[in-house]
Amino acid sequence: MPTRGSNRAARLLRLATLLAAGPRTAADLARQLGVSPRTLQRDLEELPELGHDLERDGRRYRQRAGATALDPVEALAVHTATRLLVHHTRINERGYRTALTKLANQLPEPARAYLHASVADLETLTSEGSRTLDQVAQAWFEGRVLRFDYRAPIGSKKPHRNDLDVYFVEISPANLAPYVIGYERSYFREIRTFALDRMTHVRVLDEHYEVPDDFDPHAYLASAWGIVAGPPLEVRLRFRHDVAHRVQERRHRNLRIDHTTDTGDLLVTVTTGQDKNGLPIDLLPWIYAFGPGVEVLAPERVRDHVRRQLRDAAAAYDA
C-alpha cells in the first residue's frame, strides 16, 4: 500500500516532469497534480534541494533544460519511436502522457517541442479505456491473473469470462492496436491473444502466476503477419507490375519474392497465421489495399474468400 511519503515522492517526480516539458503557471501545476496552491508551493521549494534547477519567468515556472545525452541518430530513433507511440495512443491515459513527456525531455529541439505538443493533444482525447491499460500493466508487471469479459469478432460473438496469465503485450504492426498474449486458464486453457479494445469488466485478481521460461514471444509470433499467431499458412500472390514497387520497397519479414516475370509482375509467397476458419485475417486487409493490382493464387479457400468479398463489394457499387 502506498505510504504518504511514497505518494509525495511520486508527486515531486511528476512535478519535475511537467516543469521540464515547458513553462507552467502555479495554478496549472496545482490543477494537474490535484493539490492545493500551498502544497504546490512547498513542492516547488523542495525541488531545487533534490537537484532540479528551476527558474521563474513572471507567473510561470520551468526547469532548465539540460543537454541531451543522445547523438543525432539516437535522437532520430527515439523520435520515430515516439511518433509510433503517439499514433498508437488513442485515449487520454496519464501514464502514456508522462512516459512521452519524459522521452521528450531527452530529445533535442525541434523534436522536443513537437513531442510536447503531441502530448498536449492527447489530453483532448477521451479517457474511456484507460482503466483497462492500468489493469493490464498491473497484472503483467506484478504477475497477477487478469480477469475480464471478452467478445470475439468471430464465433458466437457472446461475451465470455476469461482469466489470463499475461505473458506479453504486443502492438499490432497492422493497426497499432494493443493486444495481450497469455495463457487463458478458465475457458480456452491455452495460449491466446486478446485485443484490449474488446475487454470489459477488467480487474486484477490476487492470484499470482509466473511466465514459463520456455515462452518466447518472438518465436510465438514468428508466423504472424500482424498479431494472429495461429498455425502457419502459406499464401501465394501475384502482384501486377505497376504495384510491384510497393511490395519491394517495404518488404515484410514473412514475404518471399519467388519470381519476377518478363512483364515485371511479382510472384510472392507470404507466411501468415490463420484463424479457426483457415483464413489469414491479418493479411486480408493488406491484400485488399492493392485492389486489382494483386491476385491470390493459392490456397484455393483463400482465393475463393477474396473472390466473394470483391464480388460483394462490386455489387454494392452496381446497386
Question: Does 5 score more than 70 pLDDT?
Answer: no
The DSSP symbol for 90 reads: -
What is the end-to-end Cα distance of the chain in Å, rounded? Answer: 63
Q: Which segment of 51-65, 70-84, 127-141, 292-306 scores lowest on mean pLDDT?
A: 51-65
According to CATH, the topology of domain 130-217 is SH3 type barrels. (2.30.30)
Task: Decide which of 233 and 101 is more confident.
Answer: 233
Mean pLDDT of 75-103: 87
Task: Decide which of 5 and 313 is more confident.
Answer: 313
According to CATH, the topology of domain 4-63 is Arc Repressor Mutant, subunit A (1.10.10)
Give me 134's grid cell.
492500468
Question: 25-67, pLDDT tens digit by residue?
Answer: 888 888 888 899 889 888 888 877 766 778 887 888 877 665 5
Domain ranges of the chain: 4-63, 75-122, 130-217, 232-318
Question: 213-224, pLDDT tens digit by residue?
Answer: 999 999 999 989
231 contacts: CB under 8 Å, gap ≥ 6: 223, 273, 274
Model confidence at 1, pLDDT cuts 50, 70, 90, reads very low
In this prediction the pTM is 0.73
At 173, the amino acid letter reads P
Give the span between the Cα atoms of 100 and 79, in whole angstroms: 10
Alpha helices in the chain (DSSP H): 4-21, 26-33, 37-46, 72-88, 94-104, 111-122, 130-142, 217-220, 244-249, 284-288, 300-318
102 contacts: CB under 8 Å, gap ≥ 6: 17
